[in-house]
Structure 1
Amino acid sequence: MALTVLFAAGPGYWDRYAAPLRAAFDKAGIAAHLSEEAAPETVDYIVYAPSSSLQDFTPYTRTKAVLNLWAGVERIVGNPTLTQPLCRMVDPALTEGMVEWVTGHTLRHHLWLDRYIVNSTREWDPTCPPLARERQVAMLGMGALGEACARALQALNFNVEGWSRSPKSVPGIPCHHGADGLRDVLAKADIVVTLLPKTPETENILNAGTIAGMKRGAVILNPGRGPLIDDTALLAALDNGQIGHATLDVFRVEPLPQDHPFWAHPRVTVTPHIAADTRPLTASMVIAENIRRGEAGEPFVNLVDRARGY
């Protein structure tokens, strides 16, 4: 008997995902009826994005798992009607995209490329940037994305240290945790990358106090979550030179409002949430694998810990 898989991901997703999901189901040997509409009591799995109009999971009494298309689950994990297992998206292609964005912008700031691309001063200054091994990078967040980015930068000879809320052990990369660890990694870093999930504990983790403890002139790269940074504190630190530049891919409100001061600030680069995106082909294979696991009685991969929020 075919499974019923409800696709509840909001406008614009169906045309991109319908064919790749069906192909992935066929490849995995899953007999499933995939549709944007289904009676709740018949649904076995829900392929989901938090932008969906589906917000009440109570009627889905047969549903074995909700399979999120996004890496972030902060907009769904606190939903009191969601009692089914929730899996977040860990897509190999998403990781590749994030590594490329972080590596590219780290090298951009490391090599002072902006001064040569813009040439606004028209000054002939033959000062060479330091070598990568002379730069210190702090990776805030050592999950799958943070670890992958840290390893890519380390392979280029950057000195990388990681920080996470709870203790982590990553061979070859010094890892810190807790308030003292955060203070230590920020104080040393020339470049700080934020790849933490959004939780009550991480919101505004870069605030007036923590930013004041950073090395003067340090660069911030935020491809993680907009609320990780206190916007007002960041703007003040950019204005007084405490922070040399901020390259931001995520924001509290998206699209970033046209009147937001980030757009016009000379020390801010805005990229429109392009650091990493879920790719339909590879994401569909992740979804199919979790459905295969559910039907085989195996543990789901990327299962969300509700208590921790990710």
Structure 2
Amino acid sequence: MKPINVGVLSKIPNLLRELQVKLTSDSLLNLARVTAINNCGNSKNDFKDIDVIVADYDLVGPHLYTLENVKFIQGTWAGIDALLPHIKPELKLNVPIFRFSGNHFGKIISEYVVACIVNHERDFFKVHDNQCGKKWSQEGKIHTYRTIYDMTIGVMGVGQIGSRLIQTLKFMGANVRALGRRSTIDKNEFHFVDEYFQSTELSAFLGKCDYIVNTLPNTAETRGLLNHPKLEACRDKSPVFINVGRGGIISDESLFQAIDNNLLSHAYLDVFNQEPLPEQHLFWTSPMIKITPHVAATSRPQDIAEQFIENFNLFHKNEVVPSMLDFSKGY
């Protein structure tokens, strides 16, 4: 097998070095040549001798229809929003694109969600305030908290990220409900799911949750899925909402309305309808909303390199690559 030329078109620090290190230990890729694509891919000649590309979507997007020799593109992000403006529906795209998602993102997202739940239930924000005021206090939730195994947690999405999150929560003892597109799930494959609901059963899914976690991508089917009055189903439990999927799942107005009407008791938001979140946005000052700047799962270079090797080996053996992008689905 001739050496593989891997072109890197990314602004992620140390990605090229991580690829060089990890590829030397792989039997198929130990002779691979890893190079940075010159001039950020401004010329067709920059891709002439490249077999596969590891790239940020905004950088590779303008060149999708001129990559004559490239076998596939390994993306460096899970979300494809930056890629969509470059897609031309009237033209056939001949190069497969693999998202950076799956097990790596699933593990990191799971840590973030567990951190949100534990911090909220044990009121560590108040603990920090008490420390700043030199106040020894065990009052309220600090002392009388719920544990993960006390609660029912609903996860929207049973893809690679959602499935990993569900497994993590189940391992910690939660009763886990899952919402997905498919009509049924394989009980053997998804044995860690206590109850499964189709997207058409949204109200039933929402009704008994102490926490609702959204991991769904931004698609025509998911945009506005939780808009008013959908969250009326949450009135009895008033759950906490954690959004690590995409901001479009609910409008800003609907989220405020749900909190004002006690349909949601709190929201932890990592993704937004407009990013960066404008300085004047009311989310910043709402006491019932906690904000992180789209960092629940960052694209770490070592993880991208590992997933690239996994996907390359599957592709080389003509096996299904789970993270292959399907534009008809939007992810």
Which TM-score bucket, shorter chain as reference?
Answer: 0.7 to 0.9
Gapped regions of structure 2 (runs ≥ 5): 39-44
Alignment correspondent of 2:74: 67
Q: Percent identity?
A: 24
Range 216-225 or range 24-33, more displaced: 24-33
Deviations 1:175-195 (A, max 9, x none): 111322x21111111110000
How has the CA–CA distance of structure 1 residues 112 and 210 changed in structure 2, closer, same or farther, with 3 Å as cutoff?
Answer: farther
User: RCO greater where, 1 or 2, for CA within 8 Å and sep 6 or more?
Assistant: 1
1:141 maps to amino acid: G
Range 143-152 or range 123-132, more displaced: 123-132
User: Are 1:98 and 2:109 counterparts?
Assistant: yes
Number of aligned pairs?
305
Deviations 1:198-229 (A, max 9, x none): 11101121111212221353210011112122
How has the CA–CA distance of structure 1 residues 132 and 8 changed in structure 2, closer, same or farther, with 3 Å as cutoff?
Answer: closer
How has the CA–CA distance of structure 1 residues 125 and 299 changed in structure 2, closer, same or farther, with 3 Å as cutoff?
Answer: closer
Q: Could you tell me which of 146, 162, 169 is aligned with 1:146?
A: 162
Range 78-87 or range 145-154, more displaced: 78-87
Alignment correspondent of 2:42: none
Does the 8 Å contact 1:30/1:292 carry over to 2? no
SS at the partner of 1:208? coil
User: Are 1:129 and 2:136 counterparts?
Assistant: no
Q: Could you tell me which of 17, 25, 38 is aligned with 1:27?
A: 25
2:228 maps to amino acid: A
User: Are 1:308 and 2:325 counterparts?
Assistant: no
How has the CA–CA distance of structure 1 residues 240 and 87 changed in structure 2, closer, same or farther, with 3 Å as cutoff?
Answer: same
Q: Could you tell me which of 253, 257, 261 is aligned with 1:232?
A: 253
How many Å separate the matches in 2 of 1:125 and 1:297? 57
Q: Could you tell me which of 285, 308, 315 is aligned with 1:287?
A: 308
Alignment correspondent of 1:40: 47
Range 206-215 or range 87-96, more displaced: 87-96
Gapped regions of structure 1 (runs ≥ 5): none
Q: 1:248: how far off?
A: 0.4
Alignment correspondent of 1:4: 5
How many Å separate the matches in 2 of 1:123 and 1:282? 40
SS at the partner of 2:221? coil
1:97 maps to amino acid: I
Alignment correspondent of 1:168: 185
Q: 1:95: how far off?
A: 2.4
Q: Could you tell me which of 11, 15, 18 is aligned with 2:16?
A: 18
Deviations 1:245-289 (A, max 9, x none): 111011122221111111111111001112111221121122133
Range 206-215 or range 286-295, more displaced: 286-295
User: Are 1:88 and 2:108 counterparts?
Assistant: no
How has the CA–CA distance of structure 1 residues 203 and 226 changed in structure 2, closer, same or farther, with 3 Å as cutoff?
Answer: same
SS at the partner of 2:166? helix
Deviations 1:218-242 (A, max 9, x none): 2100111121221111012222322
